[in-house]
Amino acid sequence: MTPRIHVRVPAKINLCLGVGASREDGFHPLATVYQAVDLCDEVRVSVRDDAELTVVVNRDGQPVDDGSVPVGRDNIAIKAAVLLREHVGRPDLGADIVIRKEIPVAGGMAGGSADAAATLVACNEAWGLGITREALEPLAAELGSDVPFLLHGGNALGSGRGEQVNQILSRGTFHWVAVTSHEGLSTAAVYREFDRLNPVGVTEPVVAPELLAALRSGDVKELGAALSNDLTPAALSLRPDLLDVMDMGMSLGAVATLLSGSGPTVLFLARDPAHSEELATLLSASGVGSDVIQAFGPVHGVRFL
């Protein structure tokens, strides 16, 4: 066994998020295009001599103990480790898991899902299980809709409830500025509001061909014109203040704006790295949001350090 493994895992954004009517199982069918961006959490796994599983979550070198991240068995990293050892029939395997958070919590960028994907990969390696990433995908899907994508990263089509992932090709790098919020937004609450706003159901979601064409060409303006998120009205209904953030970024010259997943993180597409720097400086000076973060994508999924 390898006693200690260190991995990095990216956040995700949804370049489009088409949402269908709620299914009998309570999930909504999705048609989405994921992009992994270089805003990353890091996960360290150290093998224990006993069957205990522990997790510590840090941000800026300090433990996250404000209740924003579940602890103990409720933490998704512990759930991932338990699921993996149950899958291989090795309840004797133990690990200490340390997570360094950079991805916003409850920000619509899959911070929890990223940590689950990272833990699956790191524990698989640390415990010497030899499972391929493709073989980890069904376990990842049990943990959350976004988790399978984060095993691989890049750009991908997501269908089903988002867990059915197919990689797609793109050209070039896209630059984003993310404005985070002082307060998270519950994904479940946003979907409930989506259902309330759409009482007679909605059409089956599809990915616009214009978006795929923009990715293939690497054209920033075409990509900006094709961005979409069906959860935006629901998120803005719960958090109308986010519209002010979106309007602010557009007034400062962003190519396009988009809510990340179910929000509340607001994304702005920049033309290039210099424009991203300029836009981030202006947004920071405006005082909107909690933090302003630059990121680019696509990047790889979980990778070893």
pLDDT digits (tens, 9 = 90+) for 10-46: 999 999 999 998 888 878 889 999 999 999 999 999 9
Which residues are CB-neighbours of 265 under 8 A, at least 6 positions away? 104, 107, 108, 109, 178, 179, 180, 181, 259
Q: Which helix (H) or strand (E) holds 14?
A: strand 4-19
> Which residues carry out catalysis?
12, 146
Q: Which residues pair with 295 in a beta bridge?
A: 176
Q: How confident is the model at residue 1 (pLDDT cuts 50, 70, 90)?
A: low
**Domains, in order of start, for the chain:** 4-168 (3.30.230.10), 174-297 (3.30.70.890)
Side-chain half-sphere exposure of 211, counting CA atoms within 13 A: 21
Model pTM?
0.93
Which residues are CB-neighbours of 19 under 8 A, at least 6 positions away? 28, 29, 30, 191, 194, 202, 205, 230, 231
Q: Which residue in this structure is represented by tokens 């991995």?
A: 7
Q: Which of 162, 264, 272 is nearest to 223 (CA)?
A: 272
What does the CA dihedral 147, 143, 119, 123 come to, rounded to 10 degrees?
-120
Supply the angle between the helices 111-126 and 76-87 in degrees, to the nearest 10.
Answer: 40
Taking CA atoms, 273 is separated from 3, 199, 222, 276, in Å, by: 39, 43, 18, 5
**Cα–Cα distance measured from residue 243 to residue 198, given in angstroms and rounded to the nearest whole number:** 20
Q: What is the per-residue pLDDT across 268-292, written as a single tens digit (0 to 9) for each?
A: 999 999 999 999 999 999 988 889 9
